[in-house]
Amino acid sequence: MKLFFTATQLAHSPKQYMVHGRIVDPFETPDRATTLIAALESVGLERAEPGDHGRAPILKVHAGHYIAFLEEAYARFMELPNHGPEVLPNVHPYRGASLAYADRGPPRVTGIIGRAGWYMGDMSCATMEGTFPAAYASAQTAIAGARDVLAGAAAAFSLCRPPGHHAYADRCSGFCYLNNAAVAAEVLAPKFPRIAIIDFDTHHGDGTQAIFYARGDVFYGSVHTDPSAYYPHFAGYADETGTGAGEGANMNLPLPFGADDAAFMAANVRLCERARSFGADALILSAGWDAHRDDPLSKLAVTTDAYARIGELYGRLGLPTLIVQEGGYSLPAVAAASHAFTRAFRNAHG
Ligand SMILES: [Zn+2]
């Protein structure tokens, strides 16, 4: 089983993140990737370079005008008088304020402050010189893993960093710029007509849900912390079940603060059963380790043992599987959980 990663993904290392009204050091650091590499190599995964498969797979998910923003935001921001060190938004549009443009059309605003407000959903996506190259490389890592599965690999691990599941078609948020799991799903789609994306990060994957919400060929299922007082706040509720052709192809299982291994396991069992009844012929796991009780963002009481148990659960599904790295912010918990999960997954998957 291959582990895809390339050093360009380390080039994103911003210094600012706003939480609870304070600018603090970001949690989503390059150390996470180096910790994951060591933990996963010790399970026996083989490092592989992703290569560059071009922009076309990314543009199946993301709007071209959004990619153009990500690519030039830092340079344009640096032209401002008295600019700060990184791009951060200080205006927050209500997207319904003008009916002059379609949902996915580019904004009419051309200045970098307005564009930053339009495309940046929150204050966790500070953008520096290395951000776009790292996000692009992270998406290429997802594409390479998907291509490995397309070529016949039973499973692959894409160590995507920065992560992706909060990224919308035309908006970054929650440390995420490009939706790696969604891009991978589009790469797999020509061979696998029914794809299940299961997301066990402790945050709901609002970007992934939105991208596939009206699609009947991609199931999105998530277990996460109840968003009513937790990020991403505005999505992740149990009554969000899809729309149009996608009705019934979306399943949210929010857990209350303090939920333990038994509750986490039961929700993962339900997601597994739903993927099976959906008729999935390939599986993408949005793998976050931040439900772990030792994670600085966690409100749950999940232990390392639960990750071994869900690794076995998803391995036993026996589907061609791509594991896509999402969150997880305690380095010891990330190492322990990813190791336990991947070892159990491999043993069960064969
Ligand atoms: Zn998370």
Tell me the pLDDT band of 100, cut-offs 50, 70 and 90. Answer: low
pLDDT tens digits along 199-224: 999 999 999 999 999 999 999 999 99
State yes or no: is 166 an active-site residue.
yes
User: Quick check: 96 pLDDT over 90?
Assistant: no
Give 132's pLDDT tier (boundaries 50, 70, 90): very high
Cα of 78 from ligand 1 centre, angstroms: 30
Please check the confidence at residue 105 and state whether its pLDDT lies above 80: no
Separation of alpha carbons 215 and 230, rounded Å: 27
pLDDT at position 99: 57
Task: Please state whether 119 falls in left (phi above 0), alpha (psi between -120 and 50) or beta.
Answer: alpha
The Cβ-side half-sphere exposure at 155, using a 13 Å CA radius, reads: 24
pLDDT grade for 107, boundaries at 50, 70 and 90: confident
| pLDDT tens column, 251-268 | 999 999 999 999 999 999
Report how far residue 113's alpha carbon sits from residue 121's, in angstroms, rounded to the nearest whole number: 13
Please tell me the least confidently modeled range out of 18-22, 40-44, 200-204. 18-22
Q: How many CA atoms lie within 13 A of 199 on its CB side?
A: 32
- The mean per-residue pLDDT over the stretch 100-122 comes to 83
pLDDT in tens, 180-193: 999 999 999 999 99
Count of alpha carbons within 13 Å of 322, Cβ hemisphere only? 35
| Maximum CA extent, the chain | 58
Q: How far is the CA of 101 from the centre of ligand 1 (A)?
A: 32
Tell me how far the alpha carbon of residue 39 lies from the centroid of ligand 1, in angstroms.
19
Taking the centre of ligand 1 as the mean of its atom positions, its distance from the CA of residue 182, in whole angstroms, is 16
Amino acid of residue 126:
A
Considering the domain 2-14+25-50+130-349, what is its CATH architecture? Answer: 3-Layer(aba) Sandwich (3.40)
Candidates 12, 62, 165, 166; catalytic one: 166
pTM of the model: 0.97
Angle, CA of 126, 208 and 329, to the nearest 5°: 50
Average pLDDT, the chain: 96
